[in-house]
Amino acid sequence: MKEYKDYLQEAGNVHLAYYVEAADILGIEYKILVHRLLAQFKYGEKIWYIINTATPLTNSPSATIAKRKNLTNLVLENSKLPVPKQVPLYSAIDAIKFFDTYKRVVIKPSQQLGGIGITLLPNTEEDVIEAFKIAKEKTHAKGGADVLGEEFIDGQNYRLLVLGDNVIGAVRRKAAHVIGDGQHTIQELVDISNSQRERDILKPIKLDNEVNLRLNELDMKLDSIPEYGQEIILRYSCNLTTGGTTEECISEVGNYYKDLAVKAIKSLGMEFGGVDIITPDITNEAKCAINEINYNPGLRLHYKVDKGEVVKVAIPIMEYIRNKYLNS
């Protein structure tokens, strides 16, 4: 039996490699048509394709809604699902007014992936102006509101992976962090961590304005030396692409959140997607919010966990697609 590294070499893309591995396990034929991008899958007379992370399970209108964070927020709110207060920001003045009203806020592009351009909890009006500028530069939106202001919700971040009527995977997402050893500076600890992340085929901890804001809060700098065992949270956002980590936790997820995630995916007209939920308690109903919907979720969050068992979520996804085609 091949190892994952063999599938990765064959597919040239970490996301495709998981699907190719699952296909091999399930006896589904596959062919890499474009290295690092496109794979064809065949079972009997049925053929389907996966492009990077895009599967046949998401339709175009649903993808467009999920891609635009303001539309996602609107649709979820219309479906009576919990979401943070969100408003379009057309200027830095709008951003300052929003900050003055809500104090604990998030400034982010209305359309973007991987946490790029997001600033959480700016402290001053100068921070807000800089956050607005960053979000506007990084947005993929064309016309309308390029930037969104969002109420900050306290709690931990979770990604629930929904397939049909079920949650097939769940991870607790933790922001980029380092653990002090009493000898190395924060910069050196980041360099050590990034070396390991490179070996694990993960994006490095990114040092940017958000890290500077966070360290200022802690009255620390990159050349500060944390005490032995001291955990230094470097960011507010938890994205894997900026240095975050994940812990598998599906056994902890209460039915309230599983039902919430399934309803969220269905409210957008989708069969498959990742639901980002912020809550102080994933076991029981509490004040929470659905932060985002990922219409073509990457699977690394479930395969590259820091703690807990790896859940090979690509297998049930490929089974679902196979059965869907067989029954059509």
The string of pLDDT tens digits covering residues 18-47 is 999 999 999 999 999 999 999 999 999 999
Does 114 have pLDDT greater than 80?
no
Please give the full DSSP string across 130-174, using - where no structure is assigned: HHHHHHHHH----SS--EEEEE---SEEEEEEEETTEEEEEEEEE
User: Would you say the CATH fold of 85-152 matches that of 58-81+154-175+239-328?
Assistant: no
Residues 6+ apart with CB under 8 A from 2: 21, 24
Asked if 78 and 86 count as a contact pair (C-beta separation under 8 A), the reply is: no
Q: Output the pLDDT for position 173.
A: 93
CA 183 distance to own-chain centroid: 33
Per-domain boundaries in the chain = 1-52, 58-81+154-175+239-328, 85-152, 179-235
- Which residue carries 């956050």 as its tokens? 131
Does 77 have pLDDT greater than 80?
yes
* Angstrom distance (rounded) from CA 183 to CA 110: 42
Q: Output the pLDDT for position 58.
A: 87
Band (210; pLDDT cuts 50, 70, 90) = confident
Asked if 66 and 294 count as a contact pair (C-beta separation under 8 A), the reply is: yes
Band (142; pLDDT cuts 50, 70, 90) = low
Give the CB-side neighbour count of residue 121, counting CA atoms within 13 A: 14
The DSSP code for 276 is E
* Angstrom distance (rounded) from CA 293 to CA 106: 17
SS3 99: helix
Burial class (CB in 10 A: 0-12, 13-18, 19+), 184: middle
Percent pLDDT > 90 in the chain is 80
User: CATH class for domain 85-152?
Assistant: alpha beta
Tokens of 15: 């996301």
Q: Output the pLDDT for position 225.
A: 97
pTM exceeding the 0.75 threshold for the entire prediction:
yes
Tokens of 245: 């980590």
SS3 14: helix
- For range 305-309, the mean pLDDT: 92
Domain spanning 58-81+154-175+239-328, CATH architecture:
2-Layer Sandwich (3.30)
* Angstrom distance (rounded) from CA 98 to CA 257: 29
Asked if 165 and 154 count as a contact pair (C-beta separation under 8 A), the reply is: no
Whole-number mean pLDDT of the chain? 92
Task: Tell me how far CA of residue 178 lies from CA of 171, 243, 260, in angstroms.
Answer: 20, 10, 33
